[in-house]
Chains A and B, each alone.
Chain A
Amino acid sequence: MQRNPILRVEGLRTTFTSDDGEVVAVDDVSFDVNEGEIVGLIGESGSGKSVTALAVMGLLPKTTSHVTAERIMFDGRDLAHASERELRRLRGGSIGMIFQEPMSSLNPVLKIGDQLIEPIRIHERISYRAAFDRGVELLTKVGIPSPVQRMNDYPHQLSGGMRQRVMIAIALSCSPKLLLADEPTTALDVTIQAQLLDLLLEIQAETKMAIVLITHSMGVIAECADKVVVMYSGRIAEQGPVTEIFDRPGHPYTKGLMQCTPELTGNSRRLTTIPGTLPSLSALPPGCRFAPRCDLAQPDCVAGRPPMIAIGKEHASACIRADELVVSAAQPEGAEV
């Protein structure tokens, strides 16, 4: 296990201009992604997980958004203070991206082959022929049958799962060191999701690239991630190694998320729920943003923003009662194998 961070995000903050004035979508978010590591970024809609990825890449619209960060170090370069020219060289090159909707992220009027070849020829000075061959190779690698013929297909001729495989092929085309995958399997059926997660893990094991996997599914996290970053309402609620998070969740929100997913075993009649709904970004509660929905909330919780408290090796939680939570989870449920 190498310990060198390939990506280090420090103090990322993103604001949007909306009808309700300035809203803070991502508020002081910091995390590391080590070389060859899969970091799962989990949260519900509006938690800021996608915005975090887009902000790191400098892909948010400049007219309506404002991104600041102390530093966003990628492979020795500070993306927060990099020029647009520098960012363009990295995007699609050393940093690959996969988005949720394979239909809207592929150009419907260009052939698969052309979309696959484009980034290769932009980032590397090689001939069309060589790029085409690389494209065929990549399609083979992501498990697309008859790849030469598929190079001449348009996106609408492929199924959702196949389109997402093409997206993965495009993201991998320049052998990235980091892959940002934003809900890559959310729109897909469970059998196709399983195939694609296997594929990602296989490629990751082979290329040793780091992956930031954005998802709202605890199952996907349990299946793939080495490290987990839990986001709630624009802030990090908890982060730590995946087994730690599952065995000893140090934030009531993480615990709630795990409990309200129905299990495949057991016979509970009622699901444990998290009362209430996610707060609107234009009307955020003071102090801990989870406090209004939290059954452990006490007056101190709303007094100020809870700091990240270390509760284990590389495990930290933004809950002032994290220690009590971890103690109460000393007997992990469902730990028998």
Chain B
Amino acid sequence: MSKAPLLSVRDLSKYFTIRSPFRGTTVGTVQAVNRVSFDIGEGETLGLVGESGCGKSTTGRLLLRLIEPDRGEVLFEGRDLLKLDAGELKAIRKSIQIVFQDPFSSLNPRMTVEDIITEPLYVQGGMTRHDMRDRARMLLERVGLNAAHITRYPHEFSGGQRQRIGIARALAADPRFIVCDEAVSALDVSVQAQVINLLQDLQEEFNLSYLFIAHDLSVVRHISDRVAVMYLGEVVEIAGKDALYASPRHPYTKALLEAIPVAHPRLRGKRARLGGEVSSALNPPPGCRFSQRCPFAQDVCRREAPALRELGERHQVACHFAEELQAVAA
């Protein structure tokens, strides 16, 4: 894996200004995404996990410029997406697609399945109506639906089937990179497993790269090659999935993993629980954002924000005491 990554994100930030609804004065700034950096290689899946409000979905949307970032770089095949004009952006969107969480609100109820799937092709241009329809049929079959259902409307499908339609739409323009924003979270477990398998098959077949955003840690472990953990707008740890799940270096990652319910009743037992709740991203504390909940926090944690640093091979962590904690655990 020595060649340049397909997608490279550097110091990506997005702050939202909150204004008073009546006077219009600035109340504060929500640092939704703060200096996030990661790479995704070709054919690789990076899992992005964190609790609600940690900025994982915003990060996904920033990559596609569905929300305009404030600062940073998003290099896709070496080109900075943030510097492209509207025309260039449209051309490159063919290669970067997204699958949304809610299979009910992400498909236009007044469009047929054919219109939904061919819309990206229509926007990109260069194909005849007939070719587009053939491609839509092919894609429907590829995602496990009946090609004859091309004239139906979204409400005629179940949640899992709709998510397959959303995946077919993302595949239509032959992308290289797909952001899966909680793409299986709304599905029942039996259907969720089918969609996860489909995403993995498609990845192999089309050599796709995924940014897989989810809050379910076991699903993320299953599908990802590497995993990034976010807390309050910042990436606190990135590592290969085995390293991250077997020996987490950041206290937050550790706490997150310990909160997962056990797999078998025999494994029950008292475990260390993370107290408190995610603090507000509105005017976050100085220093490490996790310091208020961290059982190991020292004075330095409340003063200085730890930078994301390399700790072992391709294992990055943003904690002042990562080595000490590792030694204690061992």
**A264 and B218 within 8 A (CB):** yes
Is there a chain A Cβ closer than 8 Å to B58's Cβ?
no
Decide if A191 touches B274 in the complex (CB within 8 Å).
yes
* A286 touches B (CB below 8 Å): no
* Contact call A261/B158, Cβ cutoff below 8 A: no
Interface residues on chain B, size class = 35 or more
Residue in B193, B259, B264, B273 whose CB lies within 8 Å of A222: B264
B265 and A243 contacting across the interface, CB-CB below 8 Å: yes
Q: A277 at interface (Cβ–Cβ under 8 A)?
A: yes
In the complex the two chains form, is A242's CB within 8 Å of B191's CB?
Answer: no
> B193, B260, B264, B273: which contacts A271 (Cβ < 8 A)?
B193
The interface on chain A, measured as residues whose beta carbon lies within 8 A of the other chain's beta carbons, has a size of: 47
- A192: shortest Cβ distance to chain B, in Å? 7
CB within 8 Å for A222 and B261 given contacts A189-B52, A194-B273, A260-B189: yes
Which of the candidate stretches A27-35, A91-99, A114-122, A212-220 sits at the interface with the other chain?
Answer: A212-220
Which parts of B161-185 form the interface with A (CB within 8 Å)? 161
* Contact status of A334 and B264, CB under 8 A, knowing A45-B188, A260-B192, A277-B160: yes
Contact of A159 with B277 in the complex, beta carbons under 8 Å = yes
Judge if B149 is at the interface, Cβ distance under 8 Å. no
Cross-interface CB contact of A219 among B255, B261, B274, cutoff 8 Å = B261
Check B330 for interface membership: any CB of A closer than 8 A: no
What's the least CB distance linking B198 to chain A, in Å?
A: 10
Question: Contacts A44-B190, A189-B215 known; A271 to B265 CB distance under 8 Å?
Answer: no
| Complex interface: chain B residues within 8 A of A335 (CB) | 264, 266
| CB neighbours of B264 from chain A (8 A) | 222, 246, 334-335
Q: Is the CB of B267 within 8 A of A264?
A: no
Q: With a CB–CB cut-off of 8 A, which chain B residues contact A273?
A: 190, 193-194, 197
Are A193 and B188 closer than 8 Å at their CB atoms?
no
B residues within 8 A CB of A195?
273-275
The reply to whether B218 and A263 form a contact with Cβ atoms under 8 Å apart is: yes
Distance in angstroms between the alpha carbons of A217 and B261 in the assembled complex: 9
The reply to whether A223 and B255 contact each other, CB–CB distance below 8 Å, is: no
Among the listed A190, A198, A256, A337, which residue makes an inter-chain contact with B260, where contact means beta carbons less than 8 Å apart? A190
Other A-B pairs, 10, CB within 8 Å; known A222-B267, A243-B266: A161-B277, A189-B51, A191-B255, A219-B261, A260-B192, A264-B245, A274-B190, A278-B188, A335-B264, A335-B266
**Which 10 pairs, one residue from A and one from B, show the smallest C-beta to C-beta distance?**
A219-B261, A260-B193, A262-B222, A194-B259, A44-B188, A189-B51, A274-B190, A271-B193, A273-B193, A223-B261
6 cross-chain CB contacts under 8 A: A194-B274, A223-B262, A257-B189, A278-B190, A335-B266, A337-B266
